[in-house]
Amino acid sequence: MKKTWTIILTAVLLVAAFVLGMTLSRREAPVRGTPAGGPEASASEADAGVDESEFAPGTVNVGPERRQIVGIRVAAVRKEPVHHTLRVLGRVAADETALYIINAATAGWVIGISDVTPGAMVKKDQVLATFYAPEVLGAQQSYVYSLNTLDRLKSEGAALPSQVDSVEVSIQQYRDALHNLGMSELQMDAIAKTKERAQEIEMRSPATGIVVARNIFLGLKFVQGTEFFRIADLRRVWILLDVYENETQYLRRGARPRVSLSGRPGSFEAVVSDVLPLFDPESRTMKVRLEADNPGYVLRPDMFVDVELPVTLDATLAVPTDAILDTGLKRTVFVDRGGGYFEPREVETGRRLGNMVEVVKGLEAGEQIVVSGTFLIDSESRMELAAAGMTGSLSRDPVCGAPVSVKKASEAGRTAVYLGVTYYFDSEECRDAFNKEPGKYIGQEGDAAAVQR
């Protein structure tokens, strides 16, 4: 029971402290038109001579003490080269130019199989299986007969050179025929030495690589074209990327991104292939191919890898992502107007570059904007706009699109009448531009309707 009362008392004290703090904060908050921070504010703020009428609706004033407590930070907008890293997920694939398919060149039966399975490493000329094929036996007989004829002609010594050449041509033709029927060069060399036919034809690996597919079993009766093995030379692999169209500009031919496996130290260097990206209509992405050496055969087909490419862009206006409030309909930043005043300004953004966002319209290099504590300032700004909506309506400038206080614009003479409708402007320049070509701006979101934030 005592513990319960202690918890309740603690909670009451915390709530009381919070209410007291808010009350003191409001008492210390400067009134519009006075320097931020009250009488104790710095001389620079007191002498700033800020004209509140120049500010857009929603501008808030935050004193130096509150800025420090809330954690508001301001930074200058700069136009400079942007460095960021493009990160894409890739999938490993076998190099199709080094993919070997072993299939049947004739009909026959499988009579022996080695213990190689998918994923096993095989060496060039390693025996994978043996088979029997009647058609191969006939071709062997002709091959052995030609070999014996050549030996006899050479031993007699009376044969004409043309006769020897003719027999050697026939031997080469029979070797080509046996090769096309699936016999390896090693087995043909063995027959040339023994002059005996082989009953079991050896199926050997054409290259050193990894078995990626196996479709064979003992006693299999096969026909011409039956596929037995697929062997991939994984000393060099492909890495396939699905990237959006705007990202392909960074993955130009010859670019060298880094490739790494999740949870594994080290990385590999890949190179963007000469092959042009292909568009995938289903995923609406571009398919880009990288090529990479694969020491130790670490990268296997269908593995996922992380691809990173450092990118340096030309000088551009970019701000931290935390500086922009994105509601989906518009994007806003808060500009430091001096004297503790922060003015909301709508901007247009371009590319997202890591933790930076390109600003294409609405800001100029050298302006100071809020980069931390933006959400808290936005909350107060909304309250200011709500108050402005109670005491006076808002309109949207038909030229620049900024929200404008009807009362302030009227008092400053920043108005124009066209076709019986009164329009209000954020600046004299916008008013003058409207007066020159009013029809150009009619139909845009520049009527006298109130703006809701």
Per-residue pLDDT tens digits for 383-436: 766 665 544 556 778 888 777 777 778 888 889 988 888 898 888 888 999 998
Residue found by looking up tokens 């600046």 in the block: 427
> Within this chain, do residues 363 and 248 fall inside the same structural domain, yes or no?
yes
pLDDT band for 1, please (50, 70, 90 cuts). low
Residues 83 and 57 in one domain: no
For residue 53, being part of any structural domain is answered with yes
Residues in a beta bridge with 14: none
For residue range 2-16, what is the model confidence (pLDDT) as tens digits? 555 555 556 555 545
Q: What is the CATH number of the domain that holds 193?
A: 2.40.50.100
Question: pLDDT tens for residues 67-119?
Answer: 777 788 888 888 888 777 888 999 999 998 889 999 999 999 999 999 999 98
Judge whether residue 19 has pLDDT over 50: no
**Has residue 251 been placed in a domain?**
yes
Q: Which of 193, 209, 232 is the last residue of a domain?
A: 232
- Per the domain annotation, does 384 fall within a domain? no
CB 327 within 8 A of CB 382: no
Please tell me whether residues 128 and 49 are part of one structural domain.
no
- Residues 43, 81, single domain; the answer is no
* 145/202 same-domain check: yes
Residue 237 is predicted with a pLDDT of 93
pLDDT tier for residue 36 given thresholds of 50, 70 and 90: very low
If asked whether residues 399 and 298 sit together in one domain, one would say no
Closest CA to 147 of 119, 126, 174: 174
> Which one, of 73, 70, 62, lies nearest residue 343 by Cα?
62
pLDDT number for residue 45: 43
Q: Does 212 fall in a domain? A: yes
Does residue 212 share a domain with residue 110? yes
Examine the domain organization and report whether 193 and 241 are in the same domain.
no
Say if residue 261 is in the same domain as residue 339.
Answer: yes
**pLDDT for res 23:** 44
The predicted structure's pLDDT at residue 91? 94
- Sign of the dihedral defined by the CA atoms of residues 377, 379, 383, 389, in that order: positive
State the pLDDT confidence band at 292, using cuts at 50, 70 and 90.
Answer: very high
Residue 385 maps to a domain: no
Let me know whether 195 and 179 are in one domain: yes
User: Which of 170, 200, 232 finishes a domain?
Assistant: 232
Q: What pLDDT is attached to residue 278? A: 82
Cβ contact 306:260 at 8 Å:
yes
| Total structural domains within the chain | 4
pLDDT score of 291: 93
Provide the residue range defining the domain that includes 30: 2-70
| Residue 152 clears pLDDT 90, i.e. is over it | no
Same domain, 342 and 414: no
Q: Tell me, what CATH number does 252's domain have?
A: 2.40.30.170
Q: 249-260 pLDDT, tens per residue?
A: 778 888 899 999
131 part of a folded domain: yes
Residues 275 and 323 in one domain: yes
Judge whether 64 and 340 are in contact, CB under 8 Å.
Answer: yes
Q: E strand or H helix at 287, and its extent? A: strand 285-293
Burial per residue of 362-400, b for 16 or more beta-carbon CB atoms within 10 angstroms, e otherwise:
bbeeebebbbebbebbbebbeebbeebeeeebbbbbbbb
Q: pLDDT tens digits for 312-366?
A: 777 888 888 888 888 777 888 889 888 888 888 888 888 777 788 888 888 888 8
Rounded Cα–Cα distance for residues 342 and 370 (Å): 8
Indicate the SS3 state at residue 223.
coil
Query: What is the pLDDT of the chain when averaged over all its residues?
Result: 80
Is residue 189 domain-resident? Answer: yes
Report the C-alpha gap between 140 and 137 in whole angstroms: 5
11 occurs within a structural domain? yes
Q: Which tokens go with 38?
A: 């009250």
Q: Which of 232, 256, 286 is the last residue of a domain?
A: 232
